[in-house]
Structure 1
């Protein structure tokens, strides 16, 4: 797909593009799977330079502002820590609250202010600390509380993309497991046991799989409610009903994942929307609500009844349409 110039991008498209960063699409594939983490502990490891040093950051999250000179060169990827936080250095796999601005350097216009996509009155949104996406890299290997200026050549974002500036600040560390109140298990549903770190082990009952989507709350949180089109921040494990084997897991990759509720299969979407942050959800998805009917094989998930355990860690509203 051809990437349109920065000024022509909607705020939603711009956010998706920067979330993908240099590692490809932010959309989930056959299952909600992000790109693997960089081998480097500091991911893209951007260094400060004349461009990023020239950006002036004012205020503090959720009221960040920035002044961007019109004559930046964008010769390479640069990041300057404009405000040093007093927390520990952030590492791949953490989840933090914060704010970011996406700025068109040709005009100084703020194309996206994450404070406008918060699900509550905090003005903050979750940020997964990682080495692949632009937002995750903006805070990676900086002390918690730091504010950074990130200058990104358009050539790193895709064909036809313009240069971009991202200003971001981390605020607080968020849990990477569901923290809601335990709920009674539902008879006939798969059994779930949690390891000490929260990783779920799923046991399939000795019976035929259901023909309709089944959803049960294992923990009930009291945070914001997930709405259709939101981006959710989750930990999850998925296994096949047919043999109990795991086919996908954020736990196995060592970091939470994020995706839009409308970017996953129907059964998974049903399990997310209407839930609250802090909840842990068990969902059984028959093929008709997953990847379709067909002969079960080892190459894809067609014909499989899928079982997911999902910890809902945070939510971000969709950006307002232009």
Structure 2
């Protein structure tokens, strides 16, 4: 599916990279010295078995809600694949597919067992639990809030260590699937939007020339806090070209998209800042605020883009 990001990265994978420091779904991008970069591909079966045994030797101690003490079986500690292991069950509510998880964690350097970074002193990270997260999704669905788990990140270069992240699920929230609030009648001349009983939009093209400036027209005004530029959004959206040609829809995927607002095309950044969470917004994005003079997947060069965006959450 084509996302509104300028880079070719799966948005759920991007959210995971931000929230956990690891990307378990396929995506581009890496760094030679950044523990939040994408890991190398999975190892062979024999290597994976050895890596699993190495992870089994990690001990995690400490009270729930507090930063754990993590002891590696030896240093330097190395694995060649991404391993996910639940090390302590939770006692809270059962975690369900599609929920937004709040997670606190520590990253341990395999070089010497030291703490590279920790989120226990700040706000928890948020990640949407969808199948895009691969093995992490499989391991966490059905667990309970409070569960602790380990995720390994293999070295990104010959000089990098393995990183081990030990994370705790502090809450699990079921997000709305559609905008709710006060309907707004848009002005004439814009594409029209019809909603079915589930809130799934259908975009009908407007007549006439496409606007040359960004249009950010509320269709439903939500009751949440206004979106800010530094937040990560969870949205459902539909995308069509100005002539009505359908491009993509998260509704058809059956799962929302989640991404930092700062990572997407300018039309989204400028058009969604200030809109209340819970809103539905019609964005008409001219080429200069979209993908410009270069084609992008099925989007031709110099396209005016029409989005219907339901803002489900902003963190």
The answer as to whether partners of 1:125 and 1:315 remain within 8 angstroms in 2 is no
Note the C-alpha offset of 1:107: 4.3
Q: How many residues align?
A: 273
Evaluate the alpha carbon distance shift between residue 161 and residue 297 of structure 1 in structure 2; reply closer, same or farther with a 3 A threshold.
closer
Q: How far 1:160 moved relative to its partner? A: 5.5
**Deviation (angstroms), 1:112:** 4.3
Alpha-carbon distance in structure 1 between the residues aligned to 2:185 and 2:120:
37
Root-mean-square deviation over aligned CA pairs: 3.6
Which residue number corresponds to residue 201 of structure 2? 200
TM-score (norm 1): 0.70
List gaps (5 residues or longer) in structure 1: 1-11, 28-45, 117-122, 317-322
Aligned to 1:65: 67
Residues 293-308 of structure 1: matches in 2 within 5 Å?
293=293, 299-308=298-307
Q: Can you list the C-alpha shifts for 1:116-174, whole angstroms capped at 9, x where unaligned?
A: 3xxxxxx455421123448963863233424221231424x677653231303052323
Relative contact order, higher structure (CA 8 A, sep 6+) = 1
| Structure 1 CA distance for aligned equivalents of residues 16 and 129 of structure 2 | 21
Task: From the superposition, tell whether residues 101 and 17 of structure 1 become closer, same or farther in structure 2 (CA, over 3 Å).
Answer: closer
**Match in the other structure for 1:43:** none
Cα gap change, 1:247 to 1:180, in 2 (>3 Å): same
Aligned residue for 1:82? 88
Matched with 2:60 is 55
**Structure-2 change in CA distance of 1:14 and 1:98 (3 Å):** closer
Distance in 2 (alpha carbons) for counterparts of 1:271 and 1:160: 42
Residues 212-239 of structure 1 deviation map (CA, whole Å, 9 limit, x = unaligned): 1111112223334322233222111111
* Aligned match for 1:24, one of 27, 43, 47: 27
Residue 186 (structure 1) shift: 0.8
SS at match of 2:55: helix
Matched with 1:227 is 228
Q: 2: CA distance between counterparts of 1:199 and 1:26?
A: 33
State the alpha-carbon separation in 2 of the partners of residues 254 and 268 from structure 1. 21
Equivalence for 1:257: 257
| Structure of greater Rg | 2
CA contact (8 A) 2:226 2:276 kept: yes
Q: TM-score, normalised by structure 2?
A: 0.72
CA-to-partner distance for each residue in 1:279-305, whole Å, 9 max, x for gaps? 2211111112212248x8985332211
1:283 aligns with 2:288: no
- Return closer, same or farther for 1:312/1:146 CA change in 2, 3 Å cut-off: same
**Residue 145 of structure 1 contacts residue 171 of structure 1 at CA under 8 Å; is this kept in 2?**
yes
For 2:203 and 2:301, locate their aligned partners in 1 and report how far apart those are by CA, in whole Å: 21
Residue matched to 1:309: 308
Preserved CA contact (<8 Å) 1:130 1:136:
no
Name the residue aligned to 1:100: 104
**CA contact under 8 A between 1:15 and 1:112: conserved in structure 2?**
no
Which runs of 5 or more structure 2 residues have no equivalent in the other structure? 1-14, 31-48
Offset of 1:241 from its aligned partner?
A: 1.0
Encode CA deviations 1:187-208: one digit per residue, 9 max, x unaligned. 2222222233332111122232
